[in-house]
């Protein structure tokens, strides 16, 4: 039995199962990896299309040695085990040792910055892709930004995400830790921090009322554009339509700001993990297009040029499955556009990734 060329590490989780679904829908066999083979088999047994492809199962320890052994002979690893700043390095190092492309679904800005600084050049030297945050958040805003940058003279991007839905348990842990860490935006080609524990009233197309917004780690768009000569300013806010949830997060951010000076870095991570577990311990239901509608708005301008790009889309988690499967498919066929540290948007192409999501009915072909 030949070894599949894709590993989904953390395949039994909410997002992992969606990635497995869209890989299988494309006819791509994969190895489902995690801590428990019985749980992997039970969870993936519920996933559409998985019975159409070969799936191998692997239960292993979270060590560089065990992961490297699994990744040998594999071309693409999709890591869905977070929080990524806490658990990602072993997987990245194993990918380097095994010679595999690395994708993950993080929303943690600090982890993406660390990936670039610590591993970007090594991946590039080996002609491998290092694409953290291969997910709706933070690629949806990047798609809008790239459409805006088709207009000559644009150099500044103001992006707002407005999702409607509940995060998964893993996402809850990740977003709580990242909201309590320094959150950065790009101003005149330099990273600048957002004010600590501060919320904003955002104006979002399609809503009469203002939505409560947070930097939500600062997003990864400022990181993607940090060395891009086209862009000198980039800021990202996220405005969930669930205001009580946003108010709870703001309260936790303020509590963290008071407690952080008395805690070690390890204790800080343990605290946000515990908060995440207390807020969300069960998987949300599968997204429904008529309910989980989302808005991406990007105001873009230069000295005398302005462009407003708005996408009315649906189902951010499902789009993550599509985006990860699309990039994996192109890597298997050697059709990627970049190596080293990159976003999924830049590795695939923004119009191509829009098309992949639009073909699934989750993304409009052109902005509103």
Read off the pLDDT of residues 307-364 as tens digits, 9 standing for 90 and up. Answer: 999 999 999 999 999 999 999 999 999 999 999 999 999 999 999 999 999 999 999 8
The fraction of the chain above a pLDDT of 90, given in percent, is 79
* CA distances to 153, 159, 223, 312 from 302, in Å: 5, 15, 20, 24
What's the gap between Cα 304 and its chain centre? 33
Q: Are residues 153 and 87 in the same domain?
A: no
Q: Are residues 282 and 158 in the same domain?
A: yes
Evaluate if residue 225 carries a pLDDT over 90: yes
Does residue 366 fall inside a structural domain?
no
**Model pLDDT for residues 55-87, shown as the tens digit of each residue:** 999 999 999 999 999 999 999 999 999 989 999
Assign 3-class secondary structure to 164-195.
CCCCCHHHHHHHHHHHCCCCEEEECCEEEECC
**d(Cα 328, Cα 308) in Å, to the nearest integer?**
31
Give the mean model confidence (pLDDT) for residues 263-290: 87
Q: Residue 204 — very low, low, confident or very high, per pLDDT cuts 50/70/90?
A: very high
**Model pLDDT for residues 291-310, shown as the tens digit of each residue:** 999 999 999 999 999 999 99
Does residue 30 fall inside a structural domain?
yes
Does residue 12 fall inside a structural domain?
yes
Evaluate if residue 168 carries a pLDDT over 90: no
Q: Are residues 309 and 348 in the same domain?
A: no
Query: How many domains are there within the chain?
Result: 2
Evaluate if residue 180 carries a pLDDT over 90: no
Does residue 364 fall inside a structural domain?
no
Please tell me the predicted confidence (pLDDT) of residue 174. Answer: 77
Give the mean model confidence (pLDDT) for residues 228-253: 92
Does residue 1 fall inside a structural domain?
no
Does residue 181 fall inside a structural domain?
yes
pTM (2 d.p.):
0.94
Q: Are residues 157 and 294 in the same domain?
A: yes
**d(Cα 285, Cα 126) in Å, to the nearest integer?**
40
* CA distances to 15, 219, 238, 240, 315 from 312, in Å: 22, 19, 15, 14, 11
Does residue 36 fall inside a structural domain?
yes
| Domain end call among 278, 295, 314 | 314
Q: Are residues 193 and 130 in the same domain?
A: no
Structural domain including 307 reads: 140-314
Q: Are residues 224 and 289 in the same domain?
A: yes
Exposure string (b/e) for 209-231, b if CB count within 10 Å is 16 or more?
eebbbbbbbbbbbbbbbbeeeeb
Give the mean model confidence (pLDDT) for residues 17-22: 98
**Model pLDDT for residues 41-55, shown as the tens digit of each residue:** 999 999 999 999 999
Q: Are residues 96 and 193 in the same domain?
A: no
Evaluate if residue 138 carries a pLDDT over 90: yes
Please tell me the predicted confidence (pLDDT) of residue 91. Answer: 98
Q: Are residues 323 and 181 in the same domain?
A: no
Does residue 241 fall inside a structural domain?
yes
Q: Are residues 265 and 324 in the same domain?
A: no
Domain harbouring 161, CATH code: 3.30.360.10
The H-or-E segment that residue 340 falls in is: strand 340-341
Find tokens 């560089």 and name the residue. 64
* CA distances to 151, 158, 211, 365 from 241, in Å: 30, 19, 6, 24
The pair of three-digit structure tokens given for residue 239, joined into one six-digit string: 């405005």
- For all residues of the chain together, what is the average pLDDT? 94
Please tell me the predicted confidence (pLDDT) of residue 367. Answer: 86
Q: Are residues 108 and 63 in the same domain?
A: yes
The pair of three-digit structure tokens given for residue 259, joined into one six-digit string: 């407690």
Q: Is the dihedral of CA 277, 279, 283, 286 positive or negative?
A: negative
Q: Are residues 242 and 161 in the same domain?
A: yes
Domain harbouring 338, CATH code: 3.40.50.720
Find tokens 């050697």 and name the residue. 334
Evaluate if residue 276 carries a pLDDT over 90: no
**d(Cα 77, Cα 322) in Å, to the nearest integer?**
15
Please tell me the predicted confidence (pLDDT) of residue 242. Answer: 87
Q: Residue 283 — very low, low, confident or very high, per pLDDT cuts 50/70/90?
A: confident
Which residues have a Cβ under 8 Å from the Cβ of 331 and sit 6 or more positions away?
75, 76, 101, 129
Q: 63: which DSSP letter?
A: S
Q: Are residues 31 and 129 in the same domain?
A: yes
């Amino acid at each position: 039995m030949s070894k599949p060329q894709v590993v989904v590490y953390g395949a039994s989780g909410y997002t992992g199962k969606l990635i497995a679904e869209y890989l299988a829908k494309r006819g791509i066999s994969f190895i489902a990896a995690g801590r428990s083979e019985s749980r992997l088999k039970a969870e993936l047994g519920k996933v559409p299309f998985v019975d159409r492809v070969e799936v191998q199962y692997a239960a292993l320890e979270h060590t560089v040695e065990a992961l490297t052994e699994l990744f040998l002979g594999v071309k693409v690893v999709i890591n869905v085990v977070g929080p990524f700043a806490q658990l990602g390095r072993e997987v990245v190092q194993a990918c380097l040792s095994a010679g595999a492309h690395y994708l993950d679904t993080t929303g943690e800005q600090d982890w993406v910055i660390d990936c670039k600084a610590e591993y970007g050049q090594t991946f590039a030297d080996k002609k491998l892709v290092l694409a953290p945050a291969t997910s709706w958040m933070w690629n949806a805003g990047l798609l809008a930004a790239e459409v805006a940058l088709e207009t000559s003279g644009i150099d500044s991007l103001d992006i707002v995400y407005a999702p409607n839905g509940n995060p998964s348990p893993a996402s809850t842990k990740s977003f709580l830790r990242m909201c309590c860490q320094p959150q950065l935006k790009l101003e005149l080609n330099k990273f600048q921090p957002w004010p600590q524990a501060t919320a904003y009233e955002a104006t979002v197309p399609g809503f009469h009322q203002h939505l409560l917004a947070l930097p939500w780690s600062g997003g990864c768009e400022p990181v993607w554009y940090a060395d891009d000569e086209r862009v000198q300013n980039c800021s990202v806010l996220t405005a969930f339509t669930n205001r009580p949830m946003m108010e709870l997060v703001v309260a936790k951010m303020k509590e963290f700001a008071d407690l952080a000076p008395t805690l070690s870095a390890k204790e800080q991570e343990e605290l946000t993990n515990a908060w995440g577990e207390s807020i969300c311990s069960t998987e949300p239901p599968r997204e429904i297009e008529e309910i989980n509608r989302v808005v991406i708005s990007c105001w873009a301008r230069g000295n005398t040029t302005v462009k407003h790009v708005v996408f009315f889309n649906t189902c951010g988690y499902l789009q993550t499955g599509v985006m990860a499967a699309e990039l994996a498919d192109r890597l298997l066929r050697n059709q990627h556009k970049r190596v080293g540290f990159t976003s999924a948007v830049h590795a695939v192409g923004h119009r191509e990734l829009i098309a992949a999501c639009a073909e699934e009915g989750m993304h409009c072909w052109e902005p509103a």
